[in-house]
Amino acid sequence: MKILVLSDTHGAVIDSIAKQIKIENNIEILIHCGDNYKDADKYAELLNIKKVYKVPGNCDYNFKHKESVIVEEIEGKSVLITHGHLYLVKKDLFKLKEYAIKSNVDIVLFGHTHKSHDEIDNNILYFNPGSTTLPMDGKSSFGIINISNKDIKSRIISITT
């Protein structure tokens, strides 16, 4: 199962970024970790992705579903999806990791920092795809996660301009 992870798109759905994502082929799920989470639907349409999960971020003022955290099972793995602002991820990941351990999840997807992050700690993947349009680490990016045979592979992909 190939999963596209986006965050912090802030209303900028850009065709050139969609073209770079299309190179990945066979993406089955799109997950948006907030801040203009409605962009997920636009990207899903451009990329012909049918399954979408999205959570609101601190800049999503008019959101319909009020869940700031979603936990889904995908290919036998428990996936926690959040924006991260409620866990103070700009400071550190302590609160988020504490919640992840308590929630007994395998994967934590988050945003808010506008910096990519790909780390395994205590057998949990902590993954932030960065921002496609407003990176704070100088690299516009998105993420890809592959789950197969109970194995998880993750990677951050820099967007070329």
108: CATH: 3.60.21.10
Is residue 65 predicted with pLDDT exceeding 60?
no
Confirm if 7 and 135 have CB atoms less than 8 A apart: no
Q: Which percentage of the chain shows pLDDT scores above 70?
A: 96
Confirm if 51 and 25 have CB atoms less than 8 A apart: no
Range of the domain at 47: 2-158
Residues 71-128 have pLDDT tens digits of 999 999 999 999 999 999 999 999 999 999 999 999 999 999 999 999 999 999 999 9
Question: What pTM did the predictor assign?
Answer: 0.95
Is residue 66 predicted with pLDDT exceeding 60?
no
How many structural domains is the chain composed of?
1
61's tokens: 């003022």
Reported as a pLDDT band with limits 50, 70 and 90, residue 24 is: very high
Reported as a pLDDT band with limits 50, 70 and 90, residue 33 is: very high
| pLDDT score, position 11 | 87
| pLDDT score, position 63 | 60
Cα 25 from Cα 28, distance rounded (Å): 9
